[in-house]
Amino acid sequence: MRFVQDIPHAQFRISLYAWNGKYIVKIEAGPYEQTYKISEMDFSDPETVPTMLDEPFLNRVAQRFQEMAIDWQATGERNEVF
């Protein structure tokens, strides 16, 4: 996997990679990570990938991270780990 660039964001760490004919967008927040694989054929230039990361999309990403944290806490409590 080849690192392409970091995409600046105040709330998340966002990295772009290229691998096996795909761009991989990795979004991290604390212990959680979301990964999106996009065909390189969908973009003529990797510089256009950050335009896909608009406010509505990143708001949903933030909501998904919150849901992941809730799910993780709930399974820890059910299994008496936390």
Instruction: Please give the pLDDT value at position 82.
Output: 82
Instruction: Please give the pLDDT value at position 43.
Output: 87
Q: Label residue 21 left, alpha or beta by phi (over 0 means left) and psi (-120 to 50 means alpha).
A: left
Q: Label residues 53-78 b or e (16+ Cβ within 10 Å = b).
A: beeeeeeebeeebeebeeeeeeeeee
pTM: 0.91
> What CATH number did the domain enclosing 40 receive?
3.30.67
Instruction: Please give the pLDDT value at position 41.
Output: 94
Q: Which domain holds residue 63?
A: 2-78
Instruction: Please give the pLDDT value at position 45.
Output: 85
- Count of structural domains within the chain: 1
CA–CA gap between residue 58 and residue 52 (Å, rounded): 9
User: Residue written as tokens 């990938």?
Assistant: 49
Q: Can you give the length of the chain in residues?
A: 82
**Residues 1-57: tens digit of each pLDDT:** 999 999 999 999 999 999 999 999 999 999 999 999 999 999 888 889 999 999 999
